Structure 1
């Protein structure tokens, strides 16, 4: 590697962005949120500071997430956000860095091109793509190069990626736009329907993280929250229980279970046998919802466990793959997608 530049791996997620620098590890972990002044078009805040503004901005300031369902919904804002994050973690160098960016497995050619272009415009010399389930498997410590089947369920903010990996590539996969954000939406809808109270997205996320579960807990837990009563329009404080959360999450968790089932149905029998021996590995922030591994295990009969540091698995896997950038350049890396763009 040149002394003048460092390769950078980016987990460009709907909910958060993680940046991995070769030789340093994960150096940045911030929400993928930007705040801008509508009148001047000036970027005000990025990441954690911008997230604090969500739902609290005056008329002239807009705080937004430039990625939706795992793909770029606002190209200009994504490019500017990436530029800020890259500037935060790099010092001046003679050469621009090479970027390896993570994308969902179900991404289209147009969406891929948008990610690569955003990376180049944000200051990269070259931009390469790696599929999220492959990066997640590498980050979880799985040796994907062997002729042995492994199943990875990566539940992020915008997408859930389910993939069967063998010999360094994806054999069968599914990418659904049902993940962490949909859990939050489900909580908001449930509280509105059941308690006649309106709560914000941040309160919904707090509920999900604190008492949220998709499988019955050994002991019931409750949490007190505040919202706006739809009958009176006044603030109201009330308690929500973990069993209510199972009910709220039922539809979303069922969709993810169906996708896991569908991928297993399409998988060659030899690999299914490997998966039943090796088990299913869960990664991503959504996998941390209590009991998700137990739910999948009870429906598939296959041992399921959540990877250590599940949120960072994709970033770690992307970082480890930086060592193979030269092979990707030569077109010899056995990833199911090995596109590169030269400018």
Structure 2
């Protein structure tokens, strides 16, 4: 078997891997479970995620990536190695070339950490590309023409906003405000409002099933259970969409303000194109109920959610792998 070219969406919440000729072959949570007594990896991905909040003291389920960058180098390396072994891309005659997506404002030190982790996991060459650019390509935008295209990629740890033209980023911003922060907002709201402690899994379920970010757009309710902070005993409560809209307001407004800031720095001709073509939302956060209406209302331009926004970056890496030989050599190592 020959070695293959591989595209990786190395996300704070999920890792998606695209293999040239095979498509998306892996979509698993960015979680590693380790046994602290023996300092060894027990589980990676979905199996490790199921352990979050449900393990004895000596087993810790951890996320090695934080805010789109590596927080724990050894765990990231172990996770990447596990995933690459699982999809079997190491050929008999060589290692795979890997294209990895990164947030727009990461430092050279953070870039080096990602590159080294990929190399130690078995990569021959490592190419780094900015996430919003790859997300735009994966969403079907033709960014190589002299027209303005705007993408807002709301991931797990970061939101990347970019205006693209002629195949490159014209203006961009990256903020550490995304899906994980939404989960924390919900968790904290319920803690303060109801004196009830819930876990991250419950918080995420609330976000998916009843949350909205546009006033009056959704009116649903959901029964949740947690631990009463006063009695210490389990307790059930009913939560409504309007409450979650209030809980998420501040964080979502930060993302809207980041998009406004990018628009304000965009050259007038490209701004005119964006009014015609609209803004594309990608990433898991694009699935948040009401976010399309909120952006359209606040930015006064058409807003569209990409088809299957969760996989836009991975699909974008697949399209870029077709032209991997043309990528700048300084992006390899």
Q: TM-score, normalised by structure 2?
A: 0.98
Determine the structure 1 residue equivalent to 2:39.
41
Q: CA deviation at 1:41?
A: 1.5
- Listed one character per residue, the Cα deviations across residues 216-269 of structure 1 (whole Å, up to 9, x for unaligned) are 344510010001111111111011000001100011001001100100011111
Determine the structure 2 residue equivalent to 1:144.
143
Cα-Cα RMSD: 1.0
In structure 2, list runs of 5 or more residues that go unmatched: none
> Whole-Å Cα distance in 2 between the matches of residues 104 and 42 of structure 1?
30
1:293 equivalent in alignment to 2:292: yes
In structure 1, list runs of 5 or more residues that go unmatched: 332-337
- Listed one character per residue, the Cα deviations across residues 191-229 of structure 1 (whole Å, up to 9, x for unaligned) are 011111111111000000111110034451001000111
Determine the structure 2 residue equivalent to 1:320.
319
1:340 equivalent in alignment to 2:325: no
Determine the structure 1 residue equivalent to 2:175.
176
1:6 equivalent in alignment to 2:4: yes
> Whole-Å Cα distance in 2 between the matches of residues 233 and 141 of structure 1?
51
Query: Contact between 2:4 and 2:89, CA under 8 Å: does it hold in 1?
Result: no
Q: 1:219 to 1:7 in 2, by over 3 A?
A: closer
> Whole-Å Cα distance in 2 between the matches of residues 250 and 141 of structure 1?
30
Q: CA deviation at 1:91?
A: 5.0
Determine the structure 2 residue equivalent to 1:192.
191
- Listed one character per residue, the Cα deviations across residues 64-101 of structure 1 (whole Å, up to 9, x for unaligned) are 00000110000000001000000011255220000000
Deviates more, 1:234-243 or 1:53-62: 53-62
Deviates more, 1:247-256 or 1:37-46: 37-46
Tell me, what secondary structure is at the counterpart of 1:163? strand
Determine the structure 1 residue equivalent to 2:54.
56
> Whole-Å Cα distance in 2 between the matches of residues 180 and 328 of structure 1?
31
- Listed one character per residue, the Cα deviations across residues 27-49 of structure 1 (whole Å, up to 9, x for unaligned) are 00000000111121211100000
> Whole-Å Cα distance in 2 between the matches of residues 14 and 210 of structure 1?
22
Tell me, what secondary structure is at the counterpart of 1:191? helix
> Whole-Å Cα distance in 2 between the matches of residues 304 and 133 of structure 1?
16
1:283 equivalent in alignment to 2:290: no
Q: TM-score, normalised by structure 1?
A: 0.95
- Listed one character per residue, the Cα deviations across residues 283-329 of structure 1 (whole Å, up to 9, x for unaligned) are 00011110101000000110001000000000000111011210115
User: For 1:83, which of 65, 81, 84 is the aligned residue?
Assistant: 81
- Listed one character per residue, the Cα deviations across residues 86-119 of structure 1 (whole Å, up to 9, x for unaligned) are 0011255220000000101111100000000000
> Whole-Å Cα distance in 1 between the matches of residues 57 and 237 of structure 2?
31
Tell me, what secondary structure is at the counterpart of 2:118? helix
Q: CA deviation at 1:58?
A: 0.9
> Whole-Å Cα distance in 2 between the matches of residues 37 and 266 of structure 1?
49
1:79-158 aligned at under 5 Å gives the runs: 79-91=77-89, 93=91, 94-158=93-157
Count of residues paired in the alignment: 332
> Whole-Å Cα distance in 2 between the matches of residues 142 and 31 of structure 1?
27
Determine the structure 2 residue equivalent to 1:334.
none
Which aligned segments of 4 or more residues in structure 1 are displaced greater than 6 angstroms?
Answer: none
